Amino acid sequence: MSTHYETLQHADTYREAFAVEPPVALGERHLWPRKPGLFIVHAATAAALAQGPTSPAEETAPSTTASDTPSNAAPDRVLVPAQWGLVPHWVKSASDAKLRAPKLVNAKSDTASTGTAFRDAWLNGQRCIVPMAAFYEDDLRSGKAVPTRVARVDGKPMGVAGLWARWQGADGEVIVSYCLLTVNANNHALLHRYGQPGSEKSMPAILNEGAYDAWLTARPEKAKEFMRQYAAQWLTANPVEKKADKVPKGLLG
């Protein structure tokens, strides 16, 4: 289960791959739990998010299926700055949020609709796309943790399915946050190699490009149709060499 991913570091990539305007500042290349990142939603959702809780998806989102065919009249998409690590709306305080967020960076797609932390976000259609260049997994087969960079073979960015939340404290403080959705990878030809031996293997739910708008607008009962493994032949995994100081090369950007 990944707790480290690589953000996009070229403004044009946001426009070309996701049809969104890039952020004013690209931010840190390597993202860890509770760090500021970015997610993508439709413009109407972004406006509602800024103002307060959105209406349930059943009342606002058009019905779609998991088709990979893009809409001819796709709504505008918007980048939203947020914290990686979900803060559920029912958290009582900012200090509680700080403790919970690092544990809520990933949500298993098969339990997201029932788990206490993610249920409301799933049922209310608070879905997003998290743009990334790669994610990192530990290869433990040698007995030592070897950070491994997993990316698309063609070098293009990945759009990972996620959930977002908006928390507001009694003093008016607002935290917008998100998590990645994951799928089981026990039988995945590539990702089954990583993670703790004997544990359930998982991988981010990488979306096909043509399904972006459909994912964002699908009704909750259709959303799980998008939770699929990304084909192993479309991914490449490369170990990251470590320096003597134990800081992996390439992770300093």
Given this model, what pLDDT does residue 58 score?
Answer: 36
Given this model, what pLDDT does residue 75 score?
Answer: 54
Dist. CA 119–CA 43, nearest whole Å: 23
- How many residues in total does the chain contain? 253
DSSP output for the chain: ----EE----HHHHHHHH--PPPSS---SEE-TTSEEEEEEEHHHHHHHHHSPPPPHHHHSPP--S--SPPTTPPPEEEEEEEES---TT---HHHHHHHGGG-SEEETTTTTTSTTTHHHHHTT-EEEEEESEEEEEE-TTSS-EEEEEEETT---EEEEEEEEEEE-TTS-EEEEEEEEEEE-TT-TTGGGSSSTTSPPEEE-EEPGGGHHHHHH--HHHHGGG--PPPGGGEEEEEPPB-TTSPBTT---
Given this model, what pLDDT does residue 250 score?
Answer: 54
What are the tokens at 28?
């840190």
Given this model, what pLDDT does residue 24 score?
Answer: 93
Q: Using the CB atoms, write b or e for 181-205: b if 16+ within 10 Å.
A: bbbbbeebebbeebbeeeeebbbbb
Report, as ranges of residue numbers, the positions in the chain whose pLDDT lies below 50: 54-74, 244-246, 252-253
Q: Are 18 and 77 in contact (CB under 8 A)?
A: yes
Phi first, then psi, for residue 45 (nearest 5°) are: -65, -40
Question: CB within 8 A of 182, min separation 6: which ones?
Answer: 1, 106, 107, 108, 109, 202, 203, 204, 205
Q: What is the CATH code for 5-64+71-239?
A: 3.90.1680.10
- Angle made by CA atoms 11, 13, 14, in degrees to the nearest 5: 75
Given this model, what pLDDT does residue 53 score?
Answer: 53
Q: Which of 105, 109, 108, 111 has its CA nearest to residue 132?
A: 105
3: left (phi over 0), alpha (psi -120 to 50) or beta: alpha
Given this model, what pLDDT does residue 241 score?
Answer: 77
What are the tokens at 11?
């403004």
Amino acid at 146: V
Given this model, what pLDDT does residue 56 score?
Answer: 39
